[in-house]
C-alpha cells in the first residue's frame, strides 16, 4: 500500500507529525510526503530513516517528494535513549537567543560566548545543545561562537538546530554545525533529558 501526504504550506512539526501518524496507523509499504521547504525535507527524511524506511528525495519545481519504503522485515525503531549505562544524568541546554541576558547586547554576546565555552565543564552530562529562535544565529557561518559549538559537537554533544527558525531568518543554507531539527525532536529530547536548562 502506498500513502501520499501533501504537507506543502505546513509549519514544523506538522509534516513530521502527519508522517508519524500515517506510519503508525496505516503501516504503508511506501509513503510519499510532499513538502515545500528544505527544513521540512530534512526533518521528514530523518524521521523516516529513524523508522527504518529506505528514504529517497525527488525535487519537482519548488517541492520535495520525500519517499520512504519499507524493506523486508523492517521494524520501526524505538526512540534512542542514549543515557550512559553508568546512570549518568543527561542535561539538555536550550539556547533561544544570540546573547545572554537583557540590557546591553554587546555584553550579552560576550556572556554567551563565555557561557558556551564553559559548558564543557559539565562533562559527559551535557547531552543535547538545542538552538531555537534567535539562538540559531549562533550556528551560522561568521558567528563568533561557531568554533566553540563545533568543538562541543566534536566532543560528542548532540547539537540540534530548529529548522523552522533557520527558515524564518533565511539562514538554512548558512548553518555550519548541528542537525536541522523540528519541534517533535526537541520535545522528545526534553522528555528523555534528566534536566533542561533554558538560556
User: Domain range spanning residue 152?
Assistant: 91-198
Structural domain includes residue 112: yes
Structural domain includes residue 95: yes
pLDDT at residue number 43? 86
Type and span of the H or E element at 183: helix 183-192
- Identify whether residues 62 and 101 lie together within a single domain: no
Structural domain includes residue 115: yes
pLDDT at residue number 95? 97
- Identify whether residues 63 and 123 lie together within a single domain: no
Q: Quick check: 78 pLDDT over 50?
A: no
Q: Which residues of 30-54 are buried (b: 16+ CB within 10 A; e: fewer)?
A: ebbbbbbbebbbbbbbbbbebbebe
Structural domain includes residue 174: yes
Q: 168 exposed, middle or buried (CB, 10 Å; 0-12, 13-18, 19+)?
A: middle
**Mutual orientation of helices 105-118 and 146-154 as an angle, nearest 10°?**
20
pLDDT at residue number 50? 84
Q: Quick check: 176 pLDDT over 80?
A: yes
pLDDT at residue number 153? 96
pLDDT at residue number 80? 45
pLDDT at residue number 179? 93
Q: Quick check: 88 pLDDT over 60?
A: yes
Which range is least confidently modeled, 12-21, 71-80, 93-102, 133-142?
71-80
Nearest Cα to 159, choosing from 142, 180, 174, 145?
180
Rounded Cα distance between 27 and 18, Å, is 13
Q: Dig out the grid coordinates for 130 from the structure.
A: 538545542
User: Per-residue pLDDT averaged across 116-131, rounded?
Assistant: 94
Structural domain includes residue 80: no
pLDDT at residue number 73? 55
Structural domain includes residue 121: yes
Amino acid at each position: 500500500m502506498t500513502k501520499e501526504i501533501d504537507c506543502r504550506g505546513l509549519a514544523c512539526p506538522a509534516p513530521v507529525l502527519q508522517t508519524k501518524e500515517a506510519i503508525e496507523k496505516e503501516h504503508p509499504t511506501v509513503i510519499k510526503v510532499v513538502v515545500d521547504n528544505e527544513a521540512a525535507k530534512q526533518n521528514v527524511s530523518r524521521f523516516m530513516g529513524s523508522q527504518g524506511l529506505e528514504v529517497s528525495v525527488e525535487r519537482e519545481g519548488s517541492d520535495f517528494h520525500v519517499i520512504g519504503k519499507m524493506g523486508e522485515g523492517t521494524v520501526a525503531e524505538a526512540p534512542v535513549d542514549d543515557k550512559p549505562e553508568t546512570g549518568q544524568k543527561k542535561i539538555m541546554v536550550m539556547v533561544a537567543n544570540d546573547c545572554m541576558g537583557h540590557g546591553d547586547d554587546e555584553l550579552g554576546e560576550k556572556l554567551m560566548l563565555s557561557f558556551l565555552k564553559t559548558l564543557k565543564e559539565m562533562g559527559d552530562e551535557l547531552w543535547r545543545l538545542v538552538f531555537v529562535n534567535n539562538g540559531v544565529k549562533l550556528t551560522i557561518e561568521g558567528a563568533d561562537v561557531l568554533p566553540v559549538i563545533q568543538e562541543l559537537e566534536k566532543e560528542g554533544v548532540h547539537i540540534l538546530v530548529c529548522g523552522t527558525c533557520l527558515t524564518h531568518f533565511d539562514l538554512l543554507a548558512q548553518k555550519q554545525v548541528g542537525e536541522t531539527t523540528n519541534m517533535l525532536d526537541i520535545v522528545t529530547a526534553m522528555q528523555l533529558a534528566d534536566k533542561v536548562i533554558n538560556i
